[in-house]
Amino acid sequence: MSHCRISRIALVACVVLISIGARGRADDHAEPGDGAESPLEKAWSAYQIRLDAIRDEIHHLGKHPWAGEYVHSFMNETLAVAPEHGYAGARYDCQPPPIAETGSVGVNADGTIRLQREYLWRLGTFQELIPIQWSGWRFLVPTKEIQDFCNHVCSSRGDPDALGIGDWYGRLDQADRVIDGLPELLPQYRECLLRKPVHAKILGVVKIEEPDYEFMSRDYCVGRRLFVRINVGRDSGIRVGMTFDLLRKERLLEPSLLTVQMVSEHDAMGIIDEYAFRSGDDDQDAESNTSDGGKPVFEPTLQKLAPYDSGPPMPGARLVAGPLHMDPRWSEDGAAVFLKLTQAEAFKRAAEEKKVVAMFLCHDAYPVSAMMELDVWSDAAVRAWAEGACVPIRVCMDESTIPVLQKYNILHIPTVLFLDPSGRELGRIELVLDPHVFLSDARGCLSARQSEQGR
């Protein structure tokens, strides 16, 4: 969600809160300057009093399955909850003062907790949250967001810090705690979380919805929606709302996702949303920034680079859902074949041992990178070849690796670069998930160097 949209949400929230407060008691209508508190100021005062009481209760409770102070980083919200003194929540988008509310907390028969608003909202609205424990971590997740939370758990690769932006709260005192396995869910929600990876293939593209190009302005992103049928269903644990990662080379920003819309026993239907950017110099007109008769070229991410048309995924294209970190071949530090060397150290060793550097450029946010590690780099034949012919290193993309991307013109992830000790590129492999194909391509990249050495 863009910062502009967040600001609009915050502004609307402020307006709604003020208008609701104005319909309360007569003293809520006090004019500025008459010494009376405004509705928002009264809410803030009530919040501070309730927060002190909740903190005191939390201190005396000790260990508790859900009591504590939580933060919702995406919406700049805090939430303190305790069984006896209820809850106190604040949003810091509008100042001064922040938007605050207080209320009671109840526990439903199914184990979810119910926040009943008491102050500023007088209409008795409520929110139900699911307490979730993941090793030493604690979360409160709205019931309507549980599938999204489980999807993020799978894509996080076992790292709570990588859960991304979502509509849930994380407890404040858990940032340095180690996690293991998968979150513990209430029985009625356990089907939302796959316990192991599920691999699938596309059976066919059923329909493609194109946008109306006449209403697209310069550099504006529009969507092309693909309706796709896949070869797994309820018998594999798939349910509506789950997401699959499409295993294809990616532009350097976001992975391509398939969201399941309909499920039958042995197959399912999902959608893949793709995006397009106009690209080129600002001095060019809109028509020159497009192709195919003035229509934009689609790409599966929101990166403003030279556009390309990957076309819709073909039948047989691979997808994966579920927690890849539960694969027995998984290692948080990457495949065992990779040496723990800096780039400078790798080039030095390559010169000493008369080898080439095999630089695997990956991204933790892309399951396709993880799958290449699991299917290719963990293969015994690939590992034996790499250890004999190369100095293999793993380079995970972040801000510090931008010079590498620019130097070698890296446009897709994952990419394997074969470099001589001076840093000269001998060849590259952008995405291969078959170890036999990878070995053949890799040997081809190195054959040119061997020919040069023989002359």
Task: Label the pairing between strands 169-171 and 257-263.
Answer: unpaired
Same domain for 45 and 184?
A: yes
**What pLDDT does 302 receive?**
36
Same domain for 204 and 310?
A: yes
CB 308 within 8 A of CB 292: no
CA–CA separation, 295 vs 275, rounded Å? 12
How would you class 203 by CB atoms within 10 Å of its CB: exposed for 0-12, middle for 13-18, buried for 19 or more?
Answer: middle
CA–CA separation, 309 vs 223, rounded Å? 13
Q: Find the domain containing 10 and state its range.
A: 3-192
CB neighbours (10 Å) of residue 180? 9
What backbone torsions phi and psi does residue 272 show, to the nearest 5 degrees? -120, 120
**What pLDDT does 286 receive?**
38
**What pLDDT does 164 receive?**
60
CA–CA separation, 75 vs 383, rounded Å? 45
Same domain for 152 and 13?
A: yes
Q: Can you tell me whether residue 286 is helix, strand or coil? A: helix
- For residues 421-446, b (16+ Cβ closer than 10 Å) or e, as one string? beeeebbbbebbbebeebbebbeebb
Torsion of CA 332, 337, 340, 343, to 10 degrees: -120
Same domain for 245 and 109?
A: no
CB 71 within 8 A of CB 172: yes
Tens digits of residue pLDDT in 269-303: 999 887 655 444 443 433 434 444 455 444 443 33
Same domain for 376 and 306?
A: no
CB 330 within 8 A of CB 374: yes
Same domain for 21 and 152?
A: yes
**What pLDDT does 215 receive?**
42
**What pLDDT does 42 receive?**
82
CB 260 within 8 A of CB 268: yes
Same domain for 426 and 307?
A: no
The domain boundary residue, chosen from 133, 158, 192: 192
- C-alpha distances (whole Å) from 417 to each of 34, 216, 249, 365 are 71, 38, 15, 20
**Residue 13 is inside which H or E element, if any?**
helix 3-22
The domain boundary residue, chosen from 192, 220, 247: 192
Same domain for 214 and 188?
A: no
CATH code of residue 209: 2.40.30
CA–CA separation, 239 vs 194, rounded Å? 10
CATH code of residue 442: 3.40.30.10
Whole-model pTM? 0.75
**What pLDDT does 316 receive?**
87
- Parts of the chain with a pLDDT under 50: 1-33, 121-125, 214-220, 253, 278-293, 296-309, 455
Same domain for 212 and 168?
A: no
Q: What angle do CA 447, 341, 388 make, to 5 degrees?
A: 35
Tens digits of residue pLDDT in 299-347: 443 333 333 345 667 788 899 999 888 888 877 667 788 999 999 999 9
Same domain for 184 and 213?
A: no
Give Cβ neighbours of residue 121 (< 8 Å, ≥ 6 apart).
20, 101
**Residue 368 is inside which H or E element, if any?**
helix 367-372
**What pLDDT does 368 receive?**
84
Residues forming beta bridges with residue 428, ordered by sequence position? 417
Number of domains in the chain: 3
The domain boundary residue, chosen from 192, 217, 251: 192
User: How many residues are given for the chain?
Assistant: 455
**Residue 50 is inside which H or E element, if any?**
helix 39-61
**What pLDDT does 68 receive?**
94
Same domain for 210 and 96?
A: no
Same domain for 32 and 178?
A: yes
**What pLDDT does 254 receive?**
54
Q: Identity (one letter) of the amino acid at 273? A: D
Hey, what are 414's tokens? 């994952």
Single out the residue of 67, 63, 69 nearest to residue 83, CA to CA. Answer: 67
